[in-house]
Chains A and B, each alone.
Chain A
């Protein structure tokens, strides 16, 4: 009912605009164009801050672009749809996702990949299909998109391939978590690693991603979940997600971290997950995993162009497997509803991921909290 007045017309609303790299976002009025064919205009209910937003917020050069509307983890309601969109309609609750799921290309059809090749993943400043923007500030200047979502705005426009319909019964401050972080971690444990019951798992970096991996490993029946983090406060928090033991690399003074973990696990962990986005940590994780069958999974997003280095001799002789994934190898449209159901059935825990909630006006505080290392997910409500 509320949307019939705005369909087909530009909407004027508030957005938190990143005008300069690393500087606080500015809440200002912007103009959101109506959706073109295959697009959906969404009124955001709430959005949460993910570390990848911070990584690209700080980046002065492409793929850092300014002025930009950041944010990619969110939940909202469809305000209007462009031509050719049948999958969702006005009033539907939806989760926008940075990863496309067109359902038609060879990759979307294959069980072995979640990387849509029709609309491939990239850190783009535009809408996916026509590479233009739907955002303008009040001076008529174009504002750039982020990860095809741009959720730090009361309204946004997203390609239908990046939209997942979701049960409205899920509280919004839980649904938004499945838009990126928690799905990535849980998916990595289930699908990228395929952790089996009785496994030993080591998780490097106990942010929301790492703890989501722990949650996924717990649900998969891992017997030991070792959390590695420089912040001792994370251990208490980690216990809620199934972390059984804790190692602080800062206290590994006599022996290197890899020796400590190999001793704890009689040779190395079956699965190691890097959840920060640091080459040196990826190398540590690889060193900590078991010779012969150990698998190291890279989830953390490092700066563009980052490289990891290994001893070729070690790679050959250890037989260890090194891999990684985006969005935990999950296919957004089919897998997010599965996670939603598991949450509603009280199997998947989401509540403890939300450590802070705030109003849209206070969005910059969320950045401070996440950079300070003292929060997991800060949920920002657009209209409270």
Chain B
């Protein structure tokens, strides 16, 4: 359905196409759905483009546990245009370019008001399957059955409904195919270097996993003046790609026969990296990243979401030796204030 005059659809359900996952790990099916109008504090968005993030894949495969809910509309990295808004919404209006984000930013709770946290505590965690305000769904399939939301965004649909706390307005004219990357991966990576690690000029940085997030961390570290950016990946093709993002050195763990990755990094950095980042989602790699950091001041940032629920195990003595480890959602980014900054600098 082509939207030419938004005012025609405001207040009414919209029929459109969505890519639905009906069962874990099964190919998505393009079906006609109905998208309800936005309730109070909600925004209905026409999606322009959306990108796939590995976290979508992780949840798509999940067949057991409280987060495994189907049928579901996945996707959480996107950009769109506001089609209509619910009552009380003044922040955005029809026609605005917006990025929906899984990480809410109410701006009023203790955490939003603090500079030390980006974990908005206004709403329950985003892994619940409905809208944050009332837990219900705005999507129904052709048979009239509700379809679950995902991470408060659900961008694999021509239209979606998102709470205003999960909406970021962009008015700097950034092209859509760049803007959608700011919805998750790139913001997470750059934010991790900028806000969580606070990489300073001259630092040494080790990045485990050169997917979009890892490469974005490299980009962030480069912008902040890191002197050495070491990329660790099993895929040698990533090394050429990584050079474009500022990586200075590469380690392929499968090439190492005698020494461990952390030993090699320790030698390359005269004692350990100032900052290390895990950007895959594997507890064993988180451990490697931690072991690769420098005693005394080394800081490890965990960004990857563990794919199999494996626990993170650390040597107590390494903690006594002054190493720090911290996990981060969305790279410490406070969506409504920081994404526009990143967009301007793109």
Q: Which residues of A contact B (CB under 8 A)?
A: 107, 110, 112-115, 117, 121, 192, 267, 277, 279, 282, 291-293, 298-299, 301-302, 304-326, 329
Contact = CB atoms under 8 A, between A and B. Distances in A.
Contacts of B117: 291-293, 319
Contacts of B328: 316, 319
A376 B303 CA distance: 41
B111 A292 contact: yes
Contacts of B325: 315, 321-323
Contact of A121 (B118, B125, B321): B321
| Of listed A121, A291, A309, A319, residue having the most chain B CB within 10 A | A319
Interface stretch (B15-23, B130-138, B305-313): B305-313
B306 A319 contact: no
A299 B332 CA distance: 27
Nearest to A112: B297
A313 B306 contact: yes
Interface string B111-133: 10010111101000100000000
B29 interface: no
A302 B325 CA distance: 19
A321 B329 contact: no
Given A107-B296, A110-B297, A313-B306, A321 B319 contact: no
B116 A113 contact: no
Nearest to A290: B117
Contacts of A307: 313-316
Closest A-B pairs by Cβ, 4 of them: A113-B296, A292-B117, A324-B319, A312-B306
Contacts of B324: 321-323
A276 B118 CA distance: 32
Contacts of A267: 121
Given A308-B316, A312-B283, A321 B326 contact: yes
A315 B271 CA distance: 25
A167 B310 CA distance: 53
A319 B329 contact: yes
B320 A312 contact: no
Nearest to B270: A106
Contact of A325 (B111, B286, B315, B320): B320
10 contacts: A115-B321, A267-B121, A292-B114, A298-B319, A299-B320, A312-B305, A322-B324, A324-B322, A324-B323, A325-B320
A113 B315 CA distance: 19
B295 interface: yes
Given A292-B111, A302-B317, A311-B309, 15 more contacts: A110-B297, A115-B296, A292-B116, A304-B317, A306-B315, A306-B316, A308-B314, A312-B283, A312-B302, A312-B312, A316-B303, A316-B327, A316-B328, A317-B329, A319-B119
